Amino acid sequence: MVYSPLHLIRALIAVFVLSGFAQGATVSFKVEKDEDGRIREVVSFVMDQPVPYIVRDYTIIQQVLVEIPGFDVDMPEIIFSSVNSTLVEKVTSYRGNLIIHLRHVPVTISDRFDNDPFVIQVILDADRRRISQVQANVAQLLQSLAQEMQITPETPVLTGPVSPQSPMGPGLTEEDLYQLELRSSAIGMLDPYRSDRQLRELNTPDAIALRQAYSYFGEGNDLQALDELLYIIREHPESPLVEEATFLLGDAYHNIPQEPPGVQFRDAITVYEKAIDLYPGSRFVPRAIYGIGQSYEALGNPAAAKFHYEMIPSPIVNEYIGPALLAVARLELEQDSVRGAIEAMETLLQYDEDHWRMEALRQLTRLEFKADHYQRSADYFTRLQNEYSELFTFDPQLLLEAAQSYHQVGELRKAAWNLQRVINVYPHFDGAAKAFLELATIHHTVGNTDLAQMFISELTGKYPDTLDASRGQLLHARILMEKDLCEDAMGLYSLVEFGIHSAELEKEVILGKIDGEICLANYEVAESMARSFLRSFPLADEAEEVRSKQHRAVYLRALFEHEEGNFRVSYDLLRTYLNNQPLLPNDEENHAAIVELAQENFVIIGLAMMDEDPYRALEHLKRYAGLYNGEARHEEVERHIRDLQHRLAHKEIDGLQFQRAISRLNEAVQNYETGYRSADFRDLRVYALFKQGEFFFNNGNYEDGSTYFDRIFSEFSETPYAAMSQRFLVAAGKGNVLQAFNASNYVEAIDQFHVYEKYLAMSAEEYFEAAKLASLAYTRLSFHDRGLEHINDMEQVLPAAYSEKLDDLRALNYWGLQQYERVVRALEPRMERDEPLMVEAYEALANAFSRLNRSDRAVETFLKAAELLSDDDPAQSRRMRFEGAQLLRSLGRDDEARQQYQDIVDNYEINPTLDPVVVDAYQQLVSMAAAQSDHETVIGLSESALQLLNGHEEASSERILYFMEQQAIAYQRTNRVAQAITIYESIYERSPESVTGLRAKQELDSYEWNRRMREQLR
């Protein structure tokens, strides 16, 4: 195993004394240099038997923790023996370290050395001189350290005696930094002149004088030392010791008081500078520069002192680098430059002298803590522990600050361990109360509230009047609140509020009471306290924390209202917060909770409106989607929005608000291309378009209706509504053509046919009916050639079954072209075969016969058409019969004509639609009976006609007046004057301004004149 001198130093500090080796041990020694040039002592041995060694106490307290790093031990192998078994409290192993807990010492522990991490003392017959030299070197170094690290009277010290085995006192506080610097060259932490030791040990006069000078320096007799040094310089100018004596003169002048004050330091500076001039390459130059720095510092010139201290590290690495950099750090701190002190210690840390590296790590731990660089502070202390745990006793202030740094960076276990050291080893340390508070805080942080309360109890019991005790009570209050013991917590806050530290803890107490009121659900009180705090301390460091608590109170108050079902009240509270309060850097959790609850309330309010006012609910939820896009309930709200859009579109369609529904659905289809209800919106849009078109159709607006159906048929052919739209379009085409044709707007009829031709062509029957009307329109417009072309176009579309009907249409155009023979040739053979013709074709054939002076054949055609059409089309059958009767009457065949008229009226079945042909037939019969003076027949026929006409609202008034007048005339001719007068009165009453009414009035006046004349004659 390899051990450096540092291991031996650690062993001597802990005072483990090896009592001896068993026979058969193999031991070897050597000295070697490592890669960095350091000397390492190598001791190798293997023991056959366990060897006892003794651990003695090196502290003043009743409990000792002895750490042996890197000791991998199996606990049952350790054997303890002592007079009193209570000396060893326990032994534990933690992270590879053996921890021995002692109550009293000494105690003997036996173990093997094959895995031990260190050796304390080795005494063997062989190589005794080499081992003794190692021991002497270490002892001398430790003695120097012990002498140099004495504590000033102002520094707190332990109250008990330090064991003789402990060579070092406690570590230094920040105020004691100056104590770590060399006081003089006579007492150095390391002897800079040891290389001339052999010269000084000679019995020559100069050597004796130098030794005497050192002796006087050690006794504080600087004036006598000065005499000895001057003796060497004056009496032995050729002595090799003159150089050393010259530099020591500066030390002498520096230490000898003179009047006025300050002269001694200026003289020292002069001597040091003279020595440097005389011996510029001397190894004593660093000591002289250091002395100059000390002198300038004593003269109150810290800038010059710092300048000289900083000169020392270059160009020669020497023993004064450490003291000089410590002095620089101290001066920087006096100027409040923590950064400058840190830089000085970082420079010191670069030098490979363990005792200065150790002190640099110690000071860097504290300086970084002072600068609030907790991670760096913790890292430096960790290095200090790992590298030099054996070379320093634990300074309680250093332990406390290191623990606080560990706490700040989250290394709670290390923090607790060091705090435990403080309160166990240094119970009277002024910072012990803070250590208790830190420990309680750490245990509270990790959830050990019982332990936290235990430490708080011990803190308030041992240090009741301290500020930390009051802070402990505040922590205790927080713990009670976490346990829902809110009243008890408020009691503790009141205790601190009226305690001796109330002024110092005023803000903390208010913060705690705000939490207490929140804990008691007094949210408005908590808000009021927070507002009061912010008015009183608007710029306080705690202002943001108070605002955060205020926001928490707002949230909890809103949450209470939410849980009570007062969603609007809850939302208004949160909305006020969101509108007026900025997001604080450390308040994200409250803000997120408030936003989430506000969203929840907003959604619930919107959902509650869905049945009452779905339009408001939709706008409300849309606003949510715009404000809180991507939030937790966004998907749910999006589904509700889509449901409402779908529901409202249905409602608008059912309410005939088609345009509003279509606009809504167009927007929905555009916004919701995929996902929930996207397909429903597309289907419903087509349905809305269809219903709009259907509405127009049902109201006779075929043109606008067709626009919608055409869009469906063109853009949405894959939907079921396409086929339905097609049927409507076909019906629209047919209807528009028929409407225009019946209105004698033949050009429009033709145009409408061509507009809908592509839809009509999908149904042969519907196409033919519309195309036939278009053909008839050409005929009525006398565009017979174009009509024939139209029929040829129809032939290209229609199946062969329609060829005969197309011939009928062609015949109509032949008639228009006055090609009567061609009409007869086209239609007569078919009629002879009793094949059915179009009504118009019968009429055209009959008229062609008439034009060809074949009147009998024309009459026959009309009457045969009437017979053929009687079953399928009674109205057209009556028309054909009427036309035949008219032709018979024109031929003077009145009896035959009368018979046809009579057949029309006798075979007519009264129905809701009045056939004007029947009325015409009655009129012809009445006219013929009147011409033959068959008054009774006139009266009967007129009465029948009037009964028929009076049952129909669409009956012409003129026709009614005609039959009434004929009936009155017949009564008049048969001397039934009273009946005639009654009818004339009815005629005049019905239509006093018409010609018939005026004739009736004339007849009534005539009757009245005759009546008066008869009365006069009587």
CA–CA distance, 807 with 831 (Å, rounded to integer): 13
Residue 248 is predicted with a pLDDT of 93
Confidence of residue 200 (pLDDT cuts 50, 70, 90): low
Which pLDDT does position 288 carry in this prediction?
Answer: 92
Q: Kindly report, residue by residue over 360-406, the tens digit of the pLDDT.
A: 888 889 899 998 999 999 998 888 888 876 655 668 888 888 899 99
When pLDDT is averaged across residues 700-727 and rounded to a whole number, the result is: 77
Q: How far apart are CA 412 and CA 302, in angstroms?
A: 41
SS3 assignment for 988-1007: HHHCCCCHHHHHHHHHHHHH
Residue 761 pLDDT class (50, 70, 90 cuts): confident
The tokens for 530 are 């927070």
DSSP single-letter state for residue 65: E
Q: How far is residue 293's CA from residue 763's CA, in Å, rounded to a whole number?
A: 119
Beta bridge partners of 476: none
Q: Please write the tens of the pLDDT for every residue from 42-74.
A: 444 444 445 444 443 322 223 334 444 444 444
Is the pLDDT reported for residue 295 higher than 90?
yes
Of the candidates 514, 552, 518, 551, the one whose C-alpha atom is nearest the C-alpha of residue 533 is 514
Q: Which pLDDT score is estimated for 90?
A: 61
How confident is the model over 238-253, as a mean pLDDT? 90
Q: What is the mean pLDDT of residues 701-709?
A: 77
Q: What pLDDT was estimated at residue 167?
A: 27
In angstroms, the Cα distances linking 410 to 378, 382, 398 are 10, 14, 18
pLDDT band at 630 (very low <50, low <70, confident <90, very high): low
For 172-197, how does the pLDDT look when each residue is reduced to its tens digit (9 = 90+)?
333 333 333 332 222 333 344 444 55
Across 209-218, 674-683, 766-775, which has the greatest mean pLDDT? 209-218
Distance CA 172, CA 397 (A): 9
pLDDT tens across 4-53, in order?
333 333 333 333 323 333 333 344 444 545 555 444 444 444 444 454 44
> Which pLDDT belongs to residue 379?
92
Q: pLDDT category, 156, cuts 50, 70, 90?
A: very low
pLDDT at 768: 86
For the stretch 845-888, pLDDT in tens is 888 888 888 988 888 888 888 888 888 888 888 888 999 998 89
Average pLDDT over every residue of 1001-1008: 88
* pLDDT at 795 > cutoff 50: yes
pLDDT in tens, 122-134: 323 333 333 444 4
Question: 21 to each of 30, 121, 122, 133, how far by Cα in Å?
Answer: 19, 11, 9, 20
pLDDT of 767 over the 90 cut: no
- Mind listing the pLDDT tens digit for each residue in 528-572? 888 888 888 888 877 787 888 878 888 888 888 888 888 788 878
- ∠ CA 518-523-529, nearest 5°, is 85
What value does the mean pLDDT of the chain take? 76
526 with 550: CB under 8 angstroms? yes
Q: What is the pLDDT of residue 637?
A: 79
Average pLDDT over residues 492-511: 86
* 115 — pLDDT class (breaks 50, 70, 90): very low
Per-residue confidence (pLDDT) for residue 192, from 0 to 100: 41
> What is the Cα–Cα distance from 473 to 475, expressed in whole angstroms?
5
Please tell me the predicted confidence (pLDDT) of residue 584: 67
pLDDT of residue 62: 32
Which H or E run contains 272?
helix 263-278
Before 240, cis peptide (omega within 30)?
Answer: no
Q: What is the pLDDT of residues 248-283, one digit of tens each?
A: 999 999 999 888 888 899 999 999 999 999 998 888
Evaluate if residue 139 carries a pLDDT over 70: no
Q: Which ranges constitute the DSSP H helices of 463-522?
A: 467-482, 486-497, 506-519
User: CA–CA distance from 103 to each of 13, 59, 352, 393 (Å)?
Assistant: 18, 11, 38, 18
pLDDT at 35: 57
Residue 596 tokens read as: 């989430």
**What integer pLDDT is reported at residue 225 of this predicted model?**
92
pLDDT of residue 88: 54
Contact in structure between 794 and 775 (CB atoms under 8 Å): yes
Which residue, 801, 761, 759, 795, is CA-closest to 775?
795
The per-residue pLDDT for range 914-937, each reduced to its tens digit, is 888 888 998 899 999 888 989 899
> Which tokens is 428 given?
């009277």
Considering only residues 814 and 194, tell me which one the structure prediction assigns the higher pLDDT. 814
Q: What is the pLDDT of residue 216?
A: 92
Indicate whether 586 pLDDT > 50: yes
Structural domains present in the chain? 25-75+83-125 (no CATH), 430-520 (1.25.40), 522-609 (no CATH), 613-700 (no CATH), 917-1017 (1.25.40.10)
Backbone dihedral region of 744: left (phi > 0), alpha (psi from -120 to 50 degrees) or beta?
A: left
pLDDT tens track for 965-988: 899 999 988 989 889 899 989 988
